[in-house]
Amino acid sequence: MPQMTDERVRAGLMREEDLSLLHEVSMKTAGVSRLEMCIQCGTCGGSCPAAADMDHTPRMLFAMLRAGMREEVLRSNTPWICVSCYHCVVRCPQEVHIADVMYTLKSMAIRAKLYQDSTAPHFSQTFVGMVETFGRGFELGLASRHYLRYFPLRLPGMAPMGFGMITKGRMPLAPRKIKHMTQLKAILKRAKHLELTS
């Protein structure tokens, strides 16, 4: 976590509290985020399998939210590194919906065009496109499209794992549409409308 001692972060955290950003993120998060209940115990960062690759632990990110450090928060790689394992969520003593807050921060970072130069937004958008088309993810298509575009040299190394998954029936060769796709499309359309008008 090389940027944990970053001067700008330290200076920001020493500012007077500005809760407007914290409330904004809380309001934009689906359901009740309980973000305001964070007591800065650090259990989330200590539980996170991906923390070593994050520039700020979830605890630090929430402190930065409380300090109103919008740009630093939205530039952080932390939400993009989060793999939504929910380990922190089940261990948080305050029942903060940490993974859901990460989704909100990703969405805000994309809208503000502040996310780091990362391939993660493309990966997420490709996945969402597949859900909109087939009603579910299609791992083979997702991985090949993403790796062909960004990491073509890594594809040969992944082939044995992919082959093993295909032969064991864990990964289909072609996408399969869910039943009642029209109903899902109606739900997604309504969700997009609500997002635009909220």
88 lies in the binding site for ligand SF4 (CB under 6 A):
yes
How far apart, in whole angstroms, are the C-alpha atoms of residue 98 and residue 59?
Answer: 10
Name which position in 96, 105, 108, 143 contacts ligand SF4 (CB under 6 A). 96
Q: Residue 44 or residue 143: which is nearer to ligand SF4 going by CB? A: 44
Contact status, residue 89 vs residue 33, Cβ threshold 8 Å: no
- Taking the C-alpha atoms of residue 12 and residue 9, their distance in angstroms, rounded to an integer, is 5
Angle of the 155-167 helix axis to the 139-150 helix axis, nearest 10: 170
Note whether 48 and 98 are within 8 A (CB): no
Q: How far is the CB of 72 from ligand SF4 (least distance, A)?
A: 17
Q: Cα dist. 12→6, 18, 66, 67 in Å? A: 10, 10, 10, 6
Question: To the nearest whole angstrom, how small is the minimum distance from the Cβ of residue 10 to ligand SF4?
Answer: 18
Q: Give the list of residues 6+ apart from residue 135 with CB closer than 8 angstroms, or none.
A: 177, 178, 181, 184
Q: Is 106 in the site for ligand SF4 (CB under 6 A)?
A: no
Beta carbon of residue 101, minimum distance to ligand SF4 (angstroms, whole number): 9
Pick one of 47, 76, 77, 104: the residue that binds ligand SF4 (CB under 6 A): 47
Residue range at the interface with ligand SF4 (CB under 6 A); choices 20-28, 46-54, 125-133, 150-158: 46-54
Q: Is 26 near ligand SF4 (CB under 6 A)?
A: no
In the complex, the residues that contact ligand SF4 under the rule CB under 6 A are 38-44, 47-48, 50, 58-59, 62, 82-88, 92-94, 96, 98-99, 102
